[in-house]
Amino acid sequence: MDLLTKNDLRALIEKPKGPKGLCISIFMPTHRMWPETQQDPIRLKNLLRIAEENLIRNGLRSPEAKKLLEPSQVFLIDTSFWRYQSDGLAIFLSSDVFQYYRLPLKFGEFAVVTHRFNIKPLLPLFNSDGHFFVLALSQNKIRLFQSTRYSISEMDLEKTHVPTSISEALRYTEFEKQPHFRTRITPFTGGSTPVGEKAGTFYSSREDIDEARKNILEYFNRVDKGLHELLHDEKAPLVLAGVEYLLPIYRETNSYPYLMERGITGSPKETNEKELCEQAWTIVQPYFQKEQEDAARKYKQFADTDRTSHDIKEIVVAAYHGRVESLFVAVGARQWGAFNPETQVVHAHEKEEVGDEDLLDLAAIHAFLKGGSVYAVEPEKVPDTSLSAAVFRY
């Protein structure tokens, strides 16, 4: 699975456009297990064909369209690519962009060709039904998971600065000369406390216990520094999982501002990923719900005033000028139309016309870029039973 940050999202939004200003956005559900994975390359092939037809309809010659889509053709024959999927695949293509993300979201299956990348399907990762992290702590192995309410995937830490074990973190210290401690730390009471990784390893004094704790603290300090670099642009909740004595030690080193107070206690090795996801969701759900509920409550408070609107034309203009404080848009739905920034005129169409874009996506883009909160939710969760609803700053 790939990590998608707000900086990544912003880069997609602000990237230069391709030939004739065209950008291709492809979304599809994916599978993790055989034989379901066999159908995924076929789905992508069909979506690439639709994208090619749309490019030609928007004025490209067939050779130009094929060349623009060429980077993604490799996926059709790369069987190893399909073995390492999450729940959804997003692909973005233009003349100078080829980017893809394997994400814990079940996307609808569609390909869109407009003058900017379509980002609305990605927004659930950044709102109240969005993603969160689970950090599984162990002296022998650090694991970081990105999760949504219904799915969880382990992130690859190999190319990051997050040490994955205490021996790796303290490789160049005196720790290498000491036993690799792995179990509980308890107050020294005069007897030996068996805590070593190998049979026959014992603490014989309080000094040994203090030294072991010092090593763990330094280990977690380096883990925190690596996570700070990896998650510096994130605001997603982080849940700790590990044996009980490790959690408070890690909290002493933590600098991530969205660490949840509650954690999951027990050995992560004895808890499967599905259980981790379920237990972590019970911790983060109130955090997520409050933010979205507050926005919906504010919409109802100011309903029928000039502080709110469910008219997509009015919302697009307000979002463009940075007036949107919070915005609800229906995920999986599209409202086709066009916006002229010079005249400030918005045209909405029942069916897609040449040069159209998804006005819901356009409003979400501008609201996001101007610091508004955007909630891409199921249609029934949009206030006023509309496809969009906004609270304005003024």
Q: Where are the domains of the chain?
A: 1-118, 132-289, 302-394
Print burial letters for 125-147: b (CB count within 10 Å at least 16), e (below 16): bbbbbbbbbbbbbbbeebbbbbb
User: Cβ(161)–Cβ(229) under 8 Å?
Assistant: yes
**pLDDT given at position 182:** 44
**What CATH architecture applies to the domain 302-394?**
2-Layer Sandwich (3.30)
What is the pTM for the complete model shown? 0.63
pLDDT in tens, the chain (394 residues): 577 777 788 888 887 555 567 999 999 999 888 787 889 999 999 999 999 999 999 889 999 999 999 999 999 989 889 988 888 999 999 988 999 999 888 898 999 998 889 988 888 777 655 689 999 999 999 999 988 877 788 888 988 899 988 988 887 555 444 544 444 444 434 443 444 343 334 445 677 778 888 999 999 999 999 999 999 878 889 999 999 999 999 999 999 999 999 999 998 887 888 899 999 999 998 888 888 899 999 999 999 899 999 999 999 999 999 999 999 999 889 999 999 999 999 999 999 888 889 999 999 999 988 889 999 888 999 998 899 999 999 9
Q: Count Cα atoms within 13 angstroms, Cβ side, for 268.
A: 25
User: Cβ(239)–Cβ(132) under 8 Å?
Assistant: yes
**What CATH architecture applies to the domain 132-289?**
2-Layer Sandwich (3.30)
Picking from 43, 51, 57, the residue whose alpha carbon sits closest to that of residue 70 is 51
| Angle at alpha carbon of residue 14, lines to 116 and 16, rounded to 5° | 70
**pLDDT given at position 195:** 43
Cα–Cα distance measured from residue 265 to residue 278, given in angstroms and rounded to the nearest whole number: 14
**pLDDT given at position 208:** 74
**pLDDT given at position 85:** 87
Cα–Cα distance measured from residue 203 to residue 139, given in angstroms and rounded to the nearest whole number: 17
**Torsion-angle region of residue 125: left (phi > 0), alpha (psi -120 to 50) or beta?**
alpha
User: Cβ(103)–Cβ(1) under 8 Å?
Assistant: yes
**pLDDT given at position 337:** 95
Residues in the chain, how many? Answer: 394
User: Cβ(55)–Cβ(64) under 8 Å?
Assistant: yes
**pLDDT given at position 193:** 41
Angle between helices 206-230 and 246-253 (to 10 degrees): 50
**pLDDT given at position 50:** 96
Picking from 364, 291, 325, the residue whose alpha carbon sits closest to that of residue 121 is 364
**pLDDT given at position 96:** 87
Q: Is the bond preceding 35 in cis, omega lying within 30 degrees of 0?
A: yes
**pLDDT given at position 287:** 86
**pLDDT given at position 172:** 58
